[in-house]
Amino acid sequence: MSRILMVASEATPFAKSGGLADVVGALPQALAQLGHEVAIVLPRYRSIKLDNAQRVWQNIGISLGWHTFTAEIYSVRHRDVTVYLVDIPPLFDRGGALYGHSDDHRRFAAFCHGALAVARFLFTPDILHLHDWQAALCASYLKTRYSLDPILRDLKLVFTIHNLEYNGRFGRSVWGDFQLPDYLFSPDFLEFYGDIAVMKGGIIFADAITTVSPRYAEEIQTPEFGFGLDGLLRSQVHKLRGILNGVDYSEWSPETDPRIAARYSASDLSGKALCKQDLLDHFQLPSENLQRPLLGIVTRFAAQKGIDIIQQVAWTLMYDDDVALAVLGAATPHTPDMRFEYFFEHLRSVFPDRVGIYRGFNNTLAHKIEAGADIFLMPSRFEPCGLNQMYSLRYGTIPVVRSTGGLENTVDGETGFKFWGYWPPDFLHAVRLALDEYRNRPEDWRKRMVTAMQRDFSWTASARQYTTLYHSL
């Protein structure tokens, strides 16, 4: 069994803006249950309370260019895992979103130093498992500043790409703030078209690279999905593999979910109608919508999520197909784009009796939509894994998805509806196939719901694959 230290910028229940948090919240627990010793390092954001935490290290000096910071480390036990919180108040004790601040490069460079201090003094792992660009600088520091460190030099590095679009790109003017050797500012290392992409360090220096679905592992090697890093990934293909994310069914199961109005299961679906009524009540939509197909959306409002093709078919669906719509969306912290939010507000103003929208982050409502909607829309332009479609399957809320990344790996013709081209008529056609079955062939629909609910995407299988990978290193 191994000692594994995960470094990430989000993990449930501490901080979350998307699926990364669900993964880093659940995977360590699943690994611990297989017998590994696992700890996580997170930044201590303002929203994370320290009530049950213990200060385990203080006065760690971090110098980055002209700036110096002092970090403290807190630890807290969460179920089977120890969580270390790197507390650097000038960088993380602030309002606003988790990312998107003008000094993000410095925030996460300092955080990575804190994480390496944990690896050195508090929890020396066999495997240092880094997630996404925010943790990627650990790899660059480890292979340069710490390359002779007797404790750190033998660690094996795993780097997981949750979303290649967010590659930690910064202008070359901030290079000095990283305090990395200058030879790393070259196209063979962190330079990226004249800028810096810190994710490149994770890709280049890791002993193994994973991404969150087998399909996405193939896609990111192509120019269409590679965000300029496909060539690099092709050159590293010998150490790249896709391991599908799992679902934390202790959080996401209609049999036990305390956040929804009624519990239900594949053998007794009756509670689902109550959940639909509850969702309509939440949005103050009239009960006549119980007779209509209710389409659900839970998303970051990011171009990635296919919001633009939803926009293009939404009017047709509302005018011609007599559907109701429940939307939960928050501006993505990486690149906020208000146009998507305004669009759904506009749609609601035209169809106030059939459209509900909540703008912001609301976990309880995410559960209510998964349970209360009939059909879940996820026409992503690309989707590294996607969790919402797996939650939808478990809640018997039939997903209509674009066949890309993890959506391709998790939804099939028996459990959902797929379309291929990123093209509104294809999406509309797939939604209409779903509506037709829902309205005209209720027995087939019911069978589809039951099949979907019985699909198993629990973490154990994924944690076993990570275990095999760790051992191979």
**Residues at the interface with ligand ADP (CB under 6 A):** 18-20, 22, 298-300, 328-330, 361-363, 366, 385-388
Burial class (CB in 10 A: 0-12, 13-18, 19+), 375: buried
Complex with ligand ADP: residue 124 or 363, whichever CB lies closer = 363
HSE-CB of 105 using CA atoms within 13 angstroms: 23
Q: Which is nearer to ligand ADP, 110 or 130 (CB)?
A: 130
Residue 399 CB, nearest approach to ligand ADP (Å): 11
- Give the Cα separation of 240 and 202 in Å (integer): 12
Indicate the residue among 20 and 324 with the shorter CB distance to ligand ADP. Answer: 20
Strands (E), 212-265: 240-242
**Judged by CB, which is closer to ligand ADP: 45, or 445?**
45
CB-wise, 106 or 129, nearer to ligand ADP?
Answer: 129
What minimum distance in Å lies between the beta carbon of 168 and ligand ADP?
16
Strands (E), 188-238: 191-192, 195-197, 208-211
Written as six digits, the tokens of 37 are 């010793």
Query: Is-contact 319 351, C-beta < 8 A?
Result: no
- Shortest Å distance, C-beta 242 to ligand ADP: 14
Q: Report the residue number, 328 or 393, with the smaller CB distance to ligand ADP.
A: 328
Nearer to ligand ADP, 47 or 468 (CB): 47
CA distance 300 to 328: 8
Task: State how far Cα 12 lies from the chain centre.
Answer: 11
Pairing of strands 169-170, 191-192: unpaired
Name the minimum Å distance from CB 334 to ligand ADP: 10
Q: Which is nearer to ligand ADP, 41 or 330 (CB)?
A: 330
Question: Considering just the CA atoms, what is the radius of gyration of the chain in Å?
Answer: 23
Q: How far is the CB of 25 from ligand ADP (least distance, A)?
A: 10
Q: Supply the minimum distance, in Å, between the C-beta of residue 237 and ligand ADP.
A: 24
Q: What is the closest distance, in whole angstroms, from the C-beta atom of residue 319 to ligand ADP in the complex?
A: 26
Contacts of 318 (CB under 8 A, 6+ apart): 325, 347, 350, 351, 354, 355
Distance between CA atoms of 457 and 282, rounded to whole angstroms? 29
Residue nearest to ligand ADP (CB): 19
Tokens of 210: 């994973």
Backbone angles phi, psi at 375, to 5 degrees: -135, 140
Residue 125 CA to residue 129 CA, distance in Å, equals: 9
Shortest separation between residue 365's beta carbon and ligand ADP, angstroms: 7
Separation CA 261–CA 246 (nearest Å): 25
